[in-house]
Amino acid sequence: MLPHGAALLRDPSLNKGTAFTDAEREALGLRGLLPQHVHTQAEQVRRVLENFHRKPSALEKYIDLNALHDRNETLFFRVLTDHLEEMMPIVYTPTVGLACEHYAHIFQRSRGVFISATDRGRVEEALRNWPEPGVRMIVVTDGERILGLGDLGANGMAIPIGKLALYTAAAGIAPADCLPVVLDVGTNNEGLLNDPLYIGLHQRRLAGADYDALVDEFVAAAERVFPGVVIQFEDFASHNAFRLLRKYQDRICTFNDDIQGTAAVAVAGLLSATRATGGALGDQRLLFLGAGEAATGIADLTVGAMVADGLPEAQARGRCWLVDSHGLVVAGRVDLAEHKRPYAHDHAPVTDLVSAIRVLRPTALIGAAAQGGAFTREAIEEMARLNERPVVFALSNPTSKSECTAAQAYKWSGGRALFASGSPFEPVMLGGHTLVPRQGNNCYVFPGVGLGVIAVGARRITNEMFMAAARALSGAVSQADIDQGSLYPPLENVRQISARIAAAVAEVACAQGHATVPCPDDLPAFVTSKMYEPDYPVYVEDPKRRM
């Protein structure tokens, strides 16, 4: 039953603010609780934007939007959906990293479910306290590796909140279907442990069997409370991320966006780059700065794409090389984690990036190690010496962790670099031409993957689905985009792109037998019909409208 009076105004999922009509105000006990004038949603958006643009900093803008989310959910998503290109850097990267760092000090109202190490044996109870029973999408983090910022503990809740906001704005997954979760297992961040305002457990991180038991309990409880739910693991440290993905991916409907979503976006960018270079993906030689979740995820999906195009797997793997903190990953090293070993090729040791570029002669340089400024002028110039159109992806975020800026990549390569980044950069004027870099941001992929999986009730999420997503994303890049140096389509088109990706993912789910609903002939129309629009409902019909 719909609440009345002040209770209705305090419920952000139902509140319409000054947009409640006279008939609704009369019937729902709102007379006198609102100023007299009835505003349209468009007028409310105008007010929101006026106040938003007055805020002096990105963090203040984040707090402003967060407050709107807390009081009027529909209006928040209308603003976000209609102005996503402007709002995304605030609700997600790069500002969300800053918000995580300050989360305990800007905390206003709890959103999502916090499951702590002290909740062992009561995780299901915690999830059942969530008021929405039909959750279809969970984004969960343990806060150990937030972007390139490291261990931020329970402050990492801003990441699932931001991700799920993009699921709604970019792919139309209804807010009621989304649940952000933090597994608060403690933190090893001394600054947080010594901060009396820190919102999480003031203890060292749980590890080993106790950590695994909590994750197991969470996964089992989530499946019982929300049958068929999709669980996205987000910003887990590499030592847990890979093994948790291997553990659960064939048991539940799950994926790790840092590994698989990042991979799909990067592969889409590589596919777009081949249109500018004239070669095939199988002709590329990739050198990664980084050997963690993002780098090896991209390498794995690239290898899969090359194999699908006819290249033997051994040759495909031989085209991908990793550089970690100890230098080039080679077969003779004895310190290698399991996820690096498939890319440990026979080669003499190489200790620095520029030397690796010189000896390996890569066509693409991909940064995924959160080392700000690591792509030096010497490195970019060497890439440009070796390649007519060097591919340079500076994928680490936030902006302070970017391996180089767009301006640096273009300038040092003589305007020839095919550049993409994890953080947004402005267009660059060089030699009388304007080059438009676009973000290789996961928001191009994960919302559409989620929409496609939910639409057909997929039991599993497979690597083939991410390959389909990568090809669909690259297919949305126009020749005009390529001509101006953009390897991704305009972000303003992300809802159409998400629908396109969702249809491609759903098609794979149907073909692989993972769908639990009958697969319609017109998948694009089917997934589009499932997309939420942030329009106000009519609670009480105005008699004047029937005259």
What is the spatial distance between Cα 207 and Cα 215, in angstroms, rounded to a whole number?
11
Q: What residue type is 279 in one-letter code?
A: G
Look at the block and give the residue holding tokens 């030689």: 285
Can you give the residue ranges of every domain in the chain?
Answer: 5-87, 89-252, 260-444
**Is the Cβ–Cβ distance between 177 and 454 less than 8 Å?**
yes
Identified catalytic residue from 92, 167, 410, 444: 92
Tally of CB atoms within 10 A around 415? 16
**Is the Cβ–Cβ distance between 445 and 473 less than 8 Å?**
yes
Give the residue from 272, 118, 274 showing the smallest Cα distance to 202. 118
What secondary structure letter does DSSP report for 475? Answer: H
Question: In sequence order, what DSSP letters do the residues of 283-300 get, joined into one string?
Answer: G--EEEE--SHHHHHHHH
pLDDT at 371: 92
What is the spatial distance between Cα 247 and Cα 254, in angstroms, rounded to a whole number?
10
What is the spatial distance between Cα 505 and Cα 525, in angstroms, rounded to a whole number?
14
Identified catalytic residue from 16, 61, 62, 163: 163
Task: Encode pLDDT of 44-80 as tens digits.
Answer: 999 999 999 999 999 999 999 999 999 999 999 999 9
Whether 5-87 and 260-444 share one fold: the answer is no
Residues in the chain with pLDDT < 70? 544-547
530 catalytic per annotation: no
pLDDT at 547: 44
pLDDT at 544: 65
Is residue 118 exposed (0-12), middle (13-18) or buried (19+ Cβ within 10 Å)? Answer: exposed
First to last CA, the chain: 28
Which helix (H) or strand (E) covers residue 53, if one does? helix 41-54
Structure tokens at 448: 């559409």
What is the spatial distance between Cα 200 and Cα 185, in angstroms, rounded to a whole number?
9
Task: Encode pLDDT of 141-177 as tens digits.
Answer: 999 999 889 999 999 999 999 999 999 999 999 999 9
What is the spatial distance between Cα 522 and Cα 343, in angstroms, rounded to a whole number?
41
CATH class assigned to 5-87: mainly alpha
pLDDT at 147: 86
- C-alpha pair distances (Å), 470 with each of 140, 295, 328: 23, 16, 28
Instruction: Report the interhelical angle of 158-171 vs 494-511 (nearest 10°).
Output: 90
**CA 511 to the chain's CA centroid:** 26
How many helices (H) and strands (E) the chain has is answered by: 24, 14
Domain 89-252 indexed as CATH 3.40.50.10380: yes
* Peptide bond before residue 398 is cis, with ω within 30 degrees of 0: yes
**Is the Cβ–Cβ distance between 241 and 359 less than 8 Å?**
no
pLDDT at 398: 82
Tally of CB atoms within 10 A around 414? 12
What secondary structure letter does DSSP report for 11? Answer: -
SS3 content of the chain, % helix, strand, coil (to 5): 50, 10, 40
Q: Please, which contacts does 220-228 make with residues 24 or more away whose CB atoms are closer than 8 Å?
A: 221/123, 221/124, 221/127, 222/127, 222/138, 223/252, 224/124, 225/124, 225/127, 225/128, 225/130, 225/135, 226/127, 226/133, 226/134, 226/135, 226/136, 226/138, 226/179, 228/136, 228/253, 228/457, 228/516
pLDDT at 335: 81
**Is the Cβ–Cβ distance between 364 and 339 less than 8 Å?**
no
pLDDT at 424: 87
What is the spatial distance between Cα 337 and Cα 529, in angstroms, rounded to a whole number?
44
- CATH for 260-444 (3.90.10.10, 3.40.50.300, 3.20.20.120, 3.40.50.720): 3.40.50.720
**Is the Cβ–Cβ distance between 395 and 372 less than 8 Å?**
no
What is the spatial distance between Cα 162 and Cα 165, in angstroms, rounded to a whole number?
5
**pTM tops 0.75:** yes
- C-alpha pair distances (Å), 355 with each of 251, 345, 360, 402, 414: 43, 16, 8, 21, 21
- C-alpha pair distances (Å), 32 with each of 2, 18, 35, 37, 146: 19, 12, 7, 11, 45
